Structure 1
Amino acid sequence: MLVLTRRAGESILIGDDITVTILGVTPGGVRVGIDAPRDKGIHRAEIVVAVSDENRGAVQSSSDEAAENALLNALGRRSETE
């Protein structure tokens, strides 16, 4: 990981087409502006992790339900959700 010190108004260039500018620094956080092509995805990491965890849970739940239905079908019964 590259660690740089920047002050408000200073920028970092990433490749030829991405500019990260420090807009302001307060005791509560840092405001960052990102100028990048529209085809570049820019997401807050905590949101990506939360969505990924939610998707993983949904797939597991769906998989568990499918396994339960298969077992009930094998036993000649129907699930309560049908």
Structure 2
Amino acid sequence: MLVLSRKKGQAIIIDGRIEVTVLEVEGDTVKIGIAAPREVQITRKELLQSVKETNEEAASAVIDVGQLRQSLQKMKKNLPKL
């Protein structure tokens, strides 16, 4: 990991095409701006972690097929007839 110190208004360039600029520093919060080509996906790490955990929970869930069948039958019964 590369560790850099930057002040408000200073920036770094990544791969010659992504610019990360320090916009504001307030206490322990740093506001940054990222300028990158549209094809570069930028996602907050905590969001990716949350999605990963949710997917792992869903993949490990045990499904009661009998209960699922009953629920689907109830839903079908309540659908309006066309």
Q: TM-score, normalised by structure 1?
A: 0.77
Structure 1 regions of 5+ residues with no counterpart? 70-78
Q: TM-score, normalised by structure 2?
A: 0.77
Structure 1 position 80, deviation (Å): 2.2
Q: Which runs of 4+ in 1 moved over 3 A?
A: none
Q: Hey, what does 1:37 align to over in structure 2?
A: 37
Q: Give the superposed CA RMSD.
A: 1.2
Aligned residues: 69
The 5-angstrom pairing of residues 2-81 of structure 1 reads 2-61=2-61, 64-65=62-63, 69=65, 79-81=66-68
**SS state of the match for residue 24, structure 1?**
strand
Structure 1 position 46, deviation (Å): 0.6
Structure 1 position 5, deviation (Å): 0.3
